[in-house]
């Protein structure tokens, strides 16, 4: 059984999280520049067994796609072309950034560290992945 990898796509930076091999825990992995995402995914999946990629899809309160969705769909098509053997799941990511900030506060993270967007991005990816795992 391989890992599940979650992506919290952003126009500049993309947060990543991954499960353990048994798919029990979700762990924040890192944040990469979005321009480097495809090459990073190619390298990572060559080293690690990834069975599923979960991409967060931001929805508005009324259920409509947010303005970021066209860019996410374009990236998803590129990932499918590069990694056709790995299934991709679209998962609603509403409020993950808010939840990431709340988790940082609850965890006692200093304000200066909470302002680091790279921390927020990878934690948001972890929240997407945890939510996806809970839905299984």
Question: What is the domain-level CATH number for residue 60?
Answer: 3.30.420.140
How many Cα atoms within 13 Å fall on the side-chain side of residue 120?
18
- Please work out, in degrees rounded to the nearest 5, the angle formed at the alpha carbon of residue 33 by the alpha carbons of 29 and 34: 100
d(CA 93, CA 56): 5
- DSSP annotation of 34 reads G
pTM, rounded to two decimals: 0.84
Mean pLDDT over 66-75 rounds to 89
pLDDT value at 27 more than 60: yes
Residue 123 is predicted with a pLDDT of: 82
CA distances, 108 to each of 15, 104, 105 (Å): 21, 6, 5
Domains of the chain: total:
1
**Crossing angle, helix 69-82 and helix 37-47, to 10 degrees?**
40
Segment 36-58 shows an average pLDDT of: 96
Range(s) of the domain holding residue 84: 3-135
Q: Which residue has the higher pLDDT, 93 or 77?
A: 77
């Amino acid at each position: 059984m391989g890992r599940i990898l979650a992506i919290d796509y952003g126009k500049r930076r993309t947060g990543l999280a991954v499960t353990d091999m048994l798919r029990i825990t979700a762990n924040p992995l890192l944040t990469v520049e979005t321009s480097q995402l495809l090459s990073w995914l190619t390298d990572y999946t060559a080293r690690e067994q990834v069975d599923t990629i979960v991409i967060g899809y931001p929805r508005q309160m009324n259920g409509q796609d947010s303005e970021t969705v066209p860019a996410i769909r374009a990236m998803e098509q590129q990932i499918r072309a590069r990694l056709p053997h790995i299934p991709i799941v679209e998962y609603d990511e509403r409020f993950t950034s808010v939840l990431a900030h709340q988790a940082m506060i609850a965890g006692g993270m200093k304000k200066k560290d909470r302002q680091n967007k790279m921390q927020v991005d990878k934690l948001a990816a972890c929240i997407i992945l945890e939510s996806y795992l809970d839905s299984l």
